[in-house]
Amino acid sequence: MQSGSAAQAGVQWRDLGSLQEIHTNEKEVTEKEVTLHLLPGEQLLCEASTVLKYVQEDSCQHGVYGRLVCTDFKIAFLGDDESALDNDETQFKNKVVGENDITLHCVDQIYGVFDEKKKTLFGQLKKYPEKLIIHCKDLRVFQFCLRYTKEEEVKRIVSGIIHHTQAPKLLKRLFLFSYATAAQNNTVTDPKNHTIMFDTLKDWCWELERTKGNMKYKAVSVNEGYKVCERLPAYFVVPTPLPEENVHRFQGHGIPIWCWSCHNGSALLKMSALPKEQDDGILQIQKSFLDGVYKTIHRPPYEIVKTEDLSSNFLSLQEIQTAYSKFKQLFLIDNSTEFWDTDIKWFSLLESSSWLDIIRRCLKKAIEITECMEAQNMNVLLLEENASDLCCLISSLVQLMMDPHCRTRIGFQSLIQKEWVMGGHCFLDRCNHLRQNDKEEVPVFLLFLDCVWQLVHQHPPAFEFTETYLTVLSDSLYIPIFSTFFFNSPHQKDTNMGREGQDTQSKPLNLLTVWDWSVQFEPKAQTLLKNPLYVEKPKLDKGQRKGMRFKHQRQLSLPLTQSKSSPKRGFFREETDHLIKNLLGKRISKLINSSDELQDNFREFYDSWHSKPTDYHGLLLPHIEGPEIKVWAQRYLRWIPEAQILGGSRVATMSKLLEMIEEVQSLQEKIDERHHSQQAPQAEAPCLLRNSARLSSLFPFALLQRHSSKPVLPTSGWKALGDEDDLAKREDEFVDLGDV
């Protein structure tokens, strides 16, 4: 059934026996009724029986018989539940999306196999494949054999899957609205979810007070009802001296919008560029307007603003999309032979994708901005065409590095709400949920999560959440029952949910947010989202707090670079012209400081910080040298059995640490009993981690995978490296992907 090279590699692709064995299996399976579980509002569209789903298990593939169905929410395979699942080992299950479910938004590419040739499927088909391969955006690969399925059912299921995953959609036709309508009276929010949504003026005032930014900045409601700009949220924060009528002038463009304030008074701001104009008269008006705006945020020597033009002096969205398109192909593996063949040239393929280099550049840019704010006490103004892509990414990373509150789970979720959801990131377009324009699809938010993972991986005790939390958050991008990642702006959400519409008779729909984790996971599974090694910052009593200066401990050991006073001639005009040129779309080659001076300040700041012990509740910088930027193994490798380390990697270490934590808790309880204390019992560590020997490095997603004792190495493609006898000697030289 497969090529000869696969057989040479020792990979057995079993055709599941003869037709007689298939009919025997059919009799056995059809006696059992496999129930299709539908969500509220979900409808069955088409189905096919006698479908064989290939199951990859290290060195071989075998098949599971069942039904393949397509609904308006997902593609699902219904096999023998009793043989497919082990109830003792499936405690980390998603309640919305099952192991054999693919939401329609999660489908990336669909392939068909015709006479052993793999071809991309799209549009109307004249001939239908004997095998269907589905590549998912969460990097799962599903393979279905349709050889024994009735011809009419094959046509129906293949055509249905292609149409409902690839055809352009209208926003109102998304399953999100069907679910919200059907579950309107049953929607219950999690009382433990204290995420700040930033959809009220009170939320913004609270954030200003928390960051001590209310001395220089104010929350405004000038855009309430989206009367000024549909791109901006109803409420946001601007510099106190800025007249509110300025917001009206260019529909929110050219306005410095506050993101965050540092303990030393410096602030992070963002601004969208003014519309490009050719008329000299309009250009003069824009220049005069920006001149006035700039005076509100640049008042030397007391306040100096550094501008960062992310549109012309940083990454392009096209670079990000191209890099990720190459990168993801390294993990969409159809079989074991393909895995080992690509493993030979793994590092060259990884480097050529440039994905890790893009992560490094993002982290470096965030550190540069952190240095300006922390060491030089300068305000930083991020510039971008719409301030809704790279501005969201960089501003979030800066806050994650500088504000320990953002490293708690509630703080991190609130950060995403503030900078991404309310910041107007176009999730609908960037995730291509409507399939209307492939050119708009760019994984900016996934790039952000990958950057966050680098920080979590390098500094685990500093974060209240785990890498598993980040992984399931990335998966939630494609689950259309949550409103969080399915709109381009707050205005678009409110309008389509009936809150801004003219029909006052109908009741506005209430949508779930992704932060209600109880919708997806049981309490026991949710324990894997919380880092047991995280220690909250101790609260100081009034005596300790009195007279204390709010500075990061890091800064006390760093050479403080004083802000440069402005030259007597031309500085303000030069800086204003620089800002105007950026905002009017004219590319320039230099920023405020020379590139050499910027590099020197960055290196001194970076090296000084890493030379001191880490304060996990203070400033936090990542290592960005070559080998320090790694592949997010749990997300990208979790579905590949060959990439797993049995009983190894961090899961083994975590298992031992949790055993120690349990022992300490047990001793504490005994001490409390002696003192007749009536304390509530501590939460137990997840029992899935009790025995690390039966876990893999990609736990908890690879828990059910079975493994062979040795990897099967292909003979084809290795001839240039030596004969087969040399391979055994060199086996220990191979680098496992999980450690990359």
pLDDT for 153 beyond 60: yes
DSSP 105-154: GGEEEEEEEETTEEEE--S--SS--SEEEEEETTS-EEEEE-TTS-HHHH
Share of the chain above pLDDT 90, in %: 57
Integer Cα distance of 528 and 633 in angstroms: 17
Which of 304, 234, 311, 216 lies closest to 271 in space, CA to CA?
311
- Residue 149's pLDDT band, with cuts at 50, 70 and 90, is very high
DSSP symbols for 645-696: -BT-HHHHHHHHHHHHHHHHHHHHHHHHHHTT--PPPPPPPPGGGS-GGG-B
Write out pLDDT tens, residues 98-144.
999 999 999 999 999 999 999 999 999 999 999 999 999 999 999 99
43-75 residues labelled b (16+ CB within 10 A) or e (exposed): eebbbbbbbbbbbbebbbbebbbbbbbbbbbbb
178-201: pLDDT as tens digits: 999 998 766 666 666 899 999 999
pLDDT digits (tens, 9 = 90+) for 286-338: 899 898 888 888 888 888 999 999 998 899 999 999 999 999 999 999 888 88
| pLDDT of 678 | 52
pLDDT confidence band for 729 (50 / 70 / 90): very low
Between 467 and 686, name the one with better pLDDT: 467
Across residues 54-68, what is the average pLDDT?
77
Look at 6 and 612; give whichever has higher pLDDT.
Answer: 612
Question: Which pLDDT band, with edges at 50, 70 and 90, does 474 fall under?
Answer: very high
Running DSSP on this structure, what letter comes out for residue 455? H
For residue range 550-594, list pLDDT tens digits in order.
Answer: 333 332 223 333 333 433 333 334 445 555 545 554 332 333 334
Quick one: pLDDT at residue 401?
98
Residue-wise pLDDT for 410-450, tens only, equals: 999 999 999 999 999 999 999 999 999 899 999 999 999 99
Residue-wise over 645-667: b if at least 16 C-beta within 10 A, else e? bbbbbbbbebbeebeeeeeeeee
- Helix spans in 298-389 (H): 317-328, 336-343, 346-353, 355-374
pLDDT at residue 285 tops 60: yes
What's the DSSP call for residue 303?
Answer: B
Tokens coding 456: 């979590």
Q: What 3-state class would DSSP assign to 236?
A: strand
Q: Is pLDDT larger for residue 695 or for residue 296?
A: 296
Output the average pLDDT for the chain: 81
Q: How confident is the model at residue 25 (pLDDT cuts 50, 70, 90)?
A: very low
User: What secondary structure letter does DSSP report for 299?
Assistant: B
**DSSP assigned state of 186:** T
At 50 the three-state DSSP class reads: strand
- Cβ neighbours, 10 Å, residue 247: 22
Q: Which residue has the tokens 């990359």?
A: 740
pLDDT top residue among 57 and 731: 57
Residue 717 has pLDDT above 70, yes or no: no
Mean pLDDT of the region 537-543: 64
Residue 229 has pLDDT above 80, yes or no: yes
List of domains in the chain: 44-167 (2.30.29.30), 201-497+509-528 (no CATH)
Q: What is the pLDDT of residue 658?
A: 74
Nearest Cα neighbor of 333 from 575, 612, 183, 141 is: 141
Average pLDDT of 664-686?
69
Residue range 357-385: mean pLDDT, rounded: 97
- Given a cut of 60, whether residue 226 has pLDDT beyond it is yes
The per-residue pLDDT for range 611-639, each reduced to its tens digit, is 999 999 999 999 999 899 999 999 999 99
Residue 367's pLDDT band, with cuts at 50, 70 and 90, is: very high
Q: Is the pLDDT of residue 475 over 80?
A: yes
Measured between alpha carbons, how far is 336 from 142 in angstroms, rounded to an integer? 14
Rounded Cα distance, 144 and 334, in Å: 12
Comparison of pLDDT for 657 and 621, the residue scoring more: 621
Inform me whether the pLDDT recorded for 691 exceeds 50.
yes
Of residues 267 and 710, more confidence is placed in 267
**What is the rounded CA–CA span in Å between residue 704 and residue 63?**
16
Ordered alpha helix ranges (H), 502-552: 523-526, 542-545
Burial of 192 (0-12, 13-18, 19+ CB in 10 A): exposed
Residue 55, pLDDT score: 81
CA–centroid distance for 503 within its chain? 36
pLDDT tops 80 at residue 249: yes
Comparing 248 with 490, the larger pLDDT belongs to 490
Instruction: Give the Cα separation of 331 and 140 in Å (integer).
Output: 9
* Rounded distance between C-alpha atoms, residue 13 and residue 564, angstroms: 69
In angstroms, the Cα distances linking 4 to 80, 342, 723 are: 32, 17, 19
pLDDT at residue 385 tops 60 = yes
pLDDT of residue 670: 87
Residue 676: pLDDT band by 50, 70, 90 thresholds?
Answer: low
Quote the pLDDT of residue 337. Answer: 86
Q: What pLDDT, on the 0 to 100 scale, is given for residue 515?
A: 97
